[in-house]
Each structure stands twice: as C-alpha cells, then as structure tokens.
Amino acid sequence: MGLSALPKPQLTNMKSLSTGRVLKPSS
C-alpha cells in the first residue's frame, strides 16, 4: 500500500474511491 506516500487530501480522495471500487496501486 502506497497510500501513506500520498498527501492528506489525496489520501482521503483515494479512500473515498476505494469505498466504491477496488483500488490497485501501480507501484
């Protein structure tokens, strides 16, 4: 999981997206 590397606002946005769909980090 590379979510920790993302900025706070971006991380929140990613979490919101992962709630509706499966999030697969490319790295």
Q: Tokens for 18?
A: 């992962």
Residue 1 and residue 25 in contact, taking contact as beta carbons nearer than 8 Å: yes
**Alpha-carbon 20 to chain mean position:** 12
Give the model's confidence band at 27: pLDDT under 50 very low, under 70 low, under 90 confident, else very high.
Answer: very low
| Tens of pLDDT, residues 11-22 | 666 666 666 565
- For all residues of the chain together, what is the average pLDDT? 61
The predicted model gives 3-15 an average pLDDT of 65
Percent over 90 (pLDDT), the chain = 0
Residue 3 and residue 15 in contact, taking contact as beta carbons nearer than 8 Å: yes
Burial (0-12, 13-18, 19+ Cβ within 10 Å), 6: middle
